[in-house]
């Protein structure tokens, strides 16, 4: 489940959604179950900001394993490249 803090952040950013449109965005989640559903829910909510998606996101169950860290690093690299390109 998405934390209340993240939902509050999206709620507070909503009035500025037009300024944020087209900005690169990605989603990652961690948890002990339901993190894939949380990732999908966050992507749905973030979709109202009309981002330039960097996908796929990363959903990690439990403590991150080596493969999870590799996926997260690759996601970060793709996000950085998207931020540098127009």
Tokens of 18: 């037009």
Domain encompassing residue 30: 4-84
Write 4-10 long-range contacts (CB < 8 A, 24+). 6/42, 7/45, 10/45, 10/46
**What domain count does the chain have?**
1
Q: What is the pLDDT of residue 1?
A: 73
Say what the pTM is: 0.86
Q: Tell me the sheet residues that pair with 61.
A: 31
Whether cis (ω within 30° of 0) applies to the bond prior to 56 is yes
Tens of pLDDT, residue by residue, the chain (86 residues): 788 999 999 999 999 999 999 999 999 999 888 899 999 999 999 999 999 999 999 999 999 999 999 999 999 999 999 999 97
């Amino acid at each position: 489940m998405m934390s209340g803090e993240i939902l509050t952040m999206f709620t507070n950013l909503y009035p500025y959604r037009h300024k944020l449109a087209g900005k690169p965005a990605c989603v990652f989640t961690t948890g002990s179950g339901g993190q894939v559903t949380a990732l999908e829910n966050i992507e749905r909510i973030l979709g109202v900001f009309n981002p330039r998606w960097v996908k796929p996101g990363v959903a990690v169950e439990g403590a991150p394993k080596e493969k999870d860290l590799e996926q997260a690093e690759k996601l970060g690299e793709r996000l950085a490249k998207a931020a540098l390109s127009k």
